[in-house]
Structure 1
């Protein structure tokens, strides 16, 4: 029985992984269940808490762990400075003459007096004299500051009342003062790729066993902005999927801008103070709830676009550079299928951004947040993983290295990727490689896997740009080519697969699909559903609202039918039957006015009891006299036909001259049916010879 238990422990992947972590990263790991148990009652950053747990609870002995947890709780209770208790702590320091505090300390060099001075974040005091040895030992004090345990003394000098009475006797960092990147890279070789991915995800608090391989890759993508400079990521999805968790709790090097409202001075550069804003102070700036993003300055979005493209921005007479990545997270309040049919996947952004193709094209990566399950309590790990501060510092150091060209040895990009696409995909390849293979030891298959997910994340951006901007973003068939076999592998996005608006197979008589430009200026799909009743020749329409142009177009169709019905069929009566057509704007872009020909075909189809050809879209229109009206922006319109499932397209003969402007593979995707008169359009639409 004991032998079975031993074998079971040896084979248990969790036990094996914990042993490896204890062996190669002792002192840099912590049991995450301990973090959870204390975090719930202590309002301190996770990275501070985990450092203390790593110091006092680095053991498998339950008694040592229990004693260590008690020590950590006592240290936090006695020494952590809450901002609202700062004056109380200063009073105790004055009365006792000495006191130990836990606070975030930032150091700066006072050039005029040639000395280092400390600023205490929660305690609210500054210009405290600091020993040069502290700064040389812990250089992170000069770069954003670190959390420390500090022994303070209070010595008021009656003779020199201008001097600061607070002195630093001893300073001990409770964040990693520095990391050995070479040690980290060497230890990586002892873990398999699956084990290493599990370690990374557990370090963010997640239990990797609860997620599928696909979900693990998506969770890993959230970490790229922390290891890659000037990386722009977007993630939209349902609530409670942890979109902002990693940027708020896990890394001390990122900041979450809640609420969305900000200023150019706060984000980029304050001209009055001549100081760089958040992008110069943090590795990652994340915007929570993208729907609420607003700039008080008119030029805010333009400056943001400039920064997202180049990593620099012009402000005043100077051009400033920074390396912070930009993250945009927010909620999608409806199903993705509905959103794709009625709008696009950037729709939750403010209108000034959601339809600005120049802004959206700067997004390197779109993580499909709807594929990540809503977090449940058992999703959070209880196992060993990196202290978040240690992992954060490793990721910050890795930002200095470049892995964007690792794919060139094995693959090259397909012809559909433009320069901006290549830059975006290379950044993702670099980010994933830094996370999974920081030591540079990977195989061709490893890079192929990274290539596939990276191309997909960028293609998702490009697909939405195509919906918004039309033919300018036509090239979305992303691929990579094997340098040895010359085999080309195409990458698709999962949500593009189904939900076509124009169904396959025959529809009911009187059901017609037409594609044209709506009120908003976008091109979309419209469905006409017709009913025929015995009557006296009435024509009713629903779904048009108060749109005068659309109503006039439908009136024109019925009047044309009254005058020319006999040339189509004697069975189409405008005196003994009533017709009702319901018009549906399937993309929610506003009703179109190009409804005369589609209405004519719909009435004839219903009156004759003949369905239209399967998977057919009607393009073009006619006037009251029967004159053919050509199709605007033929290439963009045909692209919308393809995206929405059309396989046959009814086209005016005048459009043939414009086919030279349409890419050949797009033309080849359809069976094109030309018409030169309204009657011919009706016959061909219904398959009548």
Structure 2
């Protein structure tokens, strides 16, 4: 172990986990997100750091369903209860008055499953949307013309940590900025010491760029675009680090799925998740581009949307993820970065509502060497911390106190820069309580300058599409204290 390993182990003794390929090889054959893997490793590791792999294997065999298993057949034939740790999707059915559920990973469809009324009353998270938990299933046969169904008769939410955010903030004070950034990168399951002399983490600037992927995890209603070559880990981060995010990969997006289904009377993805990552954006299709564009404009601007007679609100942020062709110098082949985006996202007025741009081509490709080796925060704990930070309003107040906004500054530019600054402040300096606690040089280097750069790219790209938009951003600086 190096010095950072020892520090993480000592300061986050209950919340850290040792990540090695040997420990995680036990999950071969199971397609599990990182927050489940880390929880199991922590559950079956003693204080000396010994991992009891046989106990993990026993748990996996007992509670984690495999793709090839016919759970429905087991329930029908054996007429016995089955207990699983799994992801389920809940869909309220207004016509029947039932809360239907599906488990896509094992082939249980929403028409197959109904949540027992007493369970739904006890657990609010089972009234719509996605959740993870240890569930008990049983088959309920019906007489006459009625069909049988699978009932969810028992439920324990998968929330192993009650996050003490003040404890987390206190521990942050024991780290310098360099070690803290390395801890965050490790907790994203990457090795901050990786250096291939070209695209590795050769300096703090590149590490900070990598951490910008976490901004939508901690700051509500923040909207970003990242374009990068294939193999830079975009999909992995947004699909594995949090159970409160949602990733769309390909297919067709409808307004009903995204915002509100008027026919079913059910909310869409917006409002149910911390962020929505739209992966492979260049392949996405839209059922009605004008309809989606209108709804997106309203939501990205104000956090509200209207469908039929329903008006909804949400704090869900968006991040668009796409590939971009590069030349032999590893730079974009075109100065117009957005030319491969779907038509709906090429409109200047819609693009202006995205707050910042991440240059993903400056980030390292995923190789075996870049995988984390050593102590890091347990992903489940880390994701809960980020989720909790979203509702901490004191950070935006601090940013307001620190920034000097020039007269006549564009409102969208100011909003974008403030939101990105606030996200960085939450990630890097969560321990500050007021503007007096902030080191102004650190804030300038690690919050303000990255925010200005990300917003400036958006404005420059919009200008290339629509010359009516000026490429400049306001000269926002720190106030003189």
Q: TM-score range by the shorter chain?
A: 0.7 to 0.9
Superposition deviation, residue 426 in structure 1 = 0.9
- Superposed CA deviations along residues 320-353 of structure 1, whole A, max 9, x for unmatched, are 2122111111111133989878541222212443
1:208 equivalent in alignment to 2:198: no
1: CA distance, partners of 2:100 / 2:214: 31
Q: What's 1:460 paired with?
A: 457
Superposition deviation, residue 231 in structure 1 = 1.1
- Superposed CA deviations along residues 368-405 of structure 1, whole A, max 9, x for unmatched, are 11111212211010222222222222222222122223
2: CA distance, partners of 1:101 / 1:296: 36
Superposition deviation, residue 53 in structure 1 = 1.5
1: CA distance, partners of 2:480 / 2:218: 28
Q: What's 1:89 paired with?
A: 74
1:80 equivalent in alignment to 2:68: no
Alignment counterpart, residue 245 of structure 1, candidates 212, 217, 236:
236
For the 8 Å contact 2:348–2:462, the answer to whether it is kept is yes
Q: What's 2:8 paired with?
A: 18
Greater alpha carbon shift after TM alignment, 284-293 vs 81-90: 81-90
Q: What's 2:441 paired with?
A: 445
Q: What's 2:44 paired with?
A: 56
Q: What's 1:545 paired with?
A: none
1:347 is paired with a residue whose SS is: helix
Alignment counterpart, residue 46 of structure 1, candidates 29, 34, 48:
34
Superposition deviation, residue 478 in structure 1 = 3.9
- Superposed CA deviations along residues 203-242 of structure 1, whole A, max 9, x for unmatched, are 2111112213112111111111111111111011221111
Q: What's 2:84 paired with?
A: 101
Q: What's 1:472 paired with?
A: 469
Greater alpha carbon shift after TM alignment, 50-59 vs 199-208: 50-59
- Superposed CA deviations along residues 562-588 of structure 1, whole A, max 9, x for unmatched, are xxxxxxxxxxxxxxxxxxxxxxxxxxx
Superposition deviation, residue 80 in structure 1 = 1.6
Superposition deviation, residue 150 in structure 1 = 4.0
Q: What's 1:661 paired with?
A: none
- Correspondence 1:617-636 to 2 at 5 A: none
2:432 is paired with a residue whose SS is: coil
1:440 is paired with a residue whose SS is: coil
2: CA distance, partners of 1:14 / 1:270: 49
Q: What's 1:313 paired with?
A: 305
Alignment counterpart, residue 194 of structure 1, candidates 175, 178, 183:
178
Q: What's 2:250 paired with?
A: 259
- Superposed CA deviations along residues 350-373 of structure 1, whole A, max 9, x for unmatched, are 24433x211111110100111112
- Correspondence 1:102-141 to 2 at 5 A: 102-104=85-87, 119=101, 121=103, 122=106, 123-124=108-109, 126-129=113-116, 140-141=125-126
Superposition deviation, residue 142 in structure 1 = 5.1
1:344 equivalent in alignment to 2:336: yes
Superposition deviation, residue 287 in structure 1 = 1.2
2: CA distance, partners of 1:59 / 1:46: 21
Q: What's 1:536 paired with?
A: none
For the 8 Å contact 1:407–1:447, the answer to whether it is kept is no
2: CA distance, partners of 1:338 / 1:220: 21
For the 8 Å contact 1:225–1:327, the answer to whether it is kept is yes
1: CA distance, partners of 2:150 / 2:456: 60
Q: What's 1:228 paired with?
A: 219
1:281 is paired with a residue whose SS is: coil
For the 8 Å contact 1:154–1:167, the answer to whether it is kept is no
1:404 equivalent in alignment to 2:400: no
Superposition deviation, residue 316 in structure 1 = 1.4
**Aligned CA distance change for structure 1 residues 385 and 474 (closer, same or farther; 3 Å):** closer
For the 8 Å contact 1:27–1:58, the answer to whether it is kept is no
Of structures 1 and 2, the one with the larger relative CO (CA 8 A, separation 6+) is 2
Alignment counterpart, residue 428 of structure 2, candidates 430, 433, 436:
436
1:401 is paired with a residue whose SS is: coil
Q: What's 1:368 paired with?
A: 359
1:271 equivalent in alignment to 2:271: no
2: CA distance, partners of 1:89 / 1:375: 40
Give structure 1 stretches of 5+ with no counterpart. Answer: 1-8, 485-689
Superposition deviation, residue 452 in structure 1 = 0.9
Q: What's 2:165 paired with?
A: 181
**Aligned CA distance change for structure 1 residues 35 and 93 (closer, same or farther; 3 Å):** farther
For the 8 Å contact 2:326–2:332, the answer to whether it is kept is no
**Aligned CA distance change for structure 1 residues 32 and 273 (closer, same or farther; 3 Å):** farther
**Aligned CA distance change for structure 1 residues 412 and 331 (closer, same or farther; 3 Å):** same
1:208 is paired with a residue whose SS is: coil
For the 8 Å contact 2:405–2:476, the answer to whether it is kept is yes
* TM-score, reference length from structure 1: 0.60
1: CA distance, partners of 2:90 / 2:464: 50
For the 8 Å contact 1:414–1:481, the answer to whether it is kept is no
